[in-house]
Amino acid sequence: MKAIFDPRQLEHGPETYFRRGAEMPHPEQPRRAILIRDMLQENGFPVEAPRDFGLDPIRAVHDPDYVEFFRDAHARFRADAPPDALAIPTTHPGPRRGRCPADIHGAMGWWMTDTSTPLTEGTWDAIYWSAQSAIEAAEHVVNGEPMVYALSRPPGHHAMAAAANGFCFFNNACIAAHHLTRRWKKVALLDIDVHTGNGSLDILYERGDILFISLHPDPAGYPTFFLGHEDETGEGEGAGTCRNLLLPMGASQDVVLEALDQALEMIRDFGTEALIVSLGFDMAADDPLAAVGVHPDGFAEMGRRITALGLPTVLVQEGGYLGPSLAQNACSFLTACREEL
């Protein structure tokens, strides 16, 4: 099983962001990808650079004006900002689809949105090549490879059709899922990052050809808030094709695996022909943003059960931060997938 990664994905370098009212170090660091890339090379996974598929696959799921905005957004900000200013928004539009949560920090975000996607000099190149890595992985699967891993960084599953959110700019998993529909009529996107795939839900909510399933704690009290409730199941042609499986805070590994089994049954029932996995190692018990308790052996079991579906599969990296077991969790999951193929 090969992996796709481009070193330009390391050029987005946020230093700080605001969380719960305080400025703090940004957890979405280039070192995340370096640790996983090095693990891949040490364990015999071929790592290839993506080709340039251009902007059309990105524009297929994102508002073209939104995509174009990022090309020179940092330069425009720097030209008009004080020297030490943090490139984050300080004025915000009204709310989008979703609901105001009970949590005060979530309620503030409903009206104020978030500060987690500061622009840096290398943001455009990083997000562009992160998306290209996902597209390249999808292209390999379209052409017959059974499973390919896209080490996409920055991550993407919180990015909506026209809004950056939760460390994410371009929704790499949705871009890859749409790419798979060139060959297959029924695609599933399974999100096993600990946070709701709110951006993917936003993008896919009215699509009937892509089944979206996300495992995550209740967004009424856990980031990224707003979207990901059990009764949000899609609209129009997408009615019934979005499913949110809520985990209790602190859920054990066994509880997470039970929810995964529910998701896999839904994928089978949909008649899925190809699969995208939004892969988050922040399900780990020792992740800095931990909310549930998965361990390396649990990630290996998740990999085995997903691979046992026997579907053409693209794995797209989402969260998983600089906790002590990040590389080990990635190794456990990906090695199990490789052994199961």
Q: H-helix or E-strand containing 192?
A: none
86 vs 18, 76, 82, 90, CA distance in Å?
10, 13, 9, 10
> Hunting for tokens 């008009």 — which residue is that?
80
What is the distance of C-alpha 251 from the center of its chain? 21
Strands 22-25 and 16-19, by their bridges, are: antiparallel
Contact 165, 198 (CB under 8 A): yes
Residue 247: phi, psi to the nearest 5?
A: -105, 140
- Dist. CA 228–CA 24, nearest whole Å: 26
- Dist. CA 202–CA 273, nearest whole Å: 22
Contact 235, 179 (CB under 8 A): no
- C-alpha R_g of the chain: 18
- Dist. CA 68–CA 66, nearest whole Å: 6
Is 229 noted as a catalytic residue in this protein?
A: no
Contact 260, 192 (CB under 8 A): yes
Structure tokens at 66: 């939104």
Strands (E), 102-186: 147-150
- Dist. CA 37–CA 53, nearest whole Å: 22
Structure tokens at 103: 């949590």
List 74, 140, 157, 158, catalytic entry:
158
In angstroms, the first-to-last Cα distance of the chain is: 9
Contact 176, 206 (CB under 8 A): no
Angle between helix 30-42 and helix 326-340 axes, rounded to 10 deg:
40
> Hunting for tokens 């957004």 — which residue is that?
73
Position 170, amino acid: F
- The catalytic residues are 158
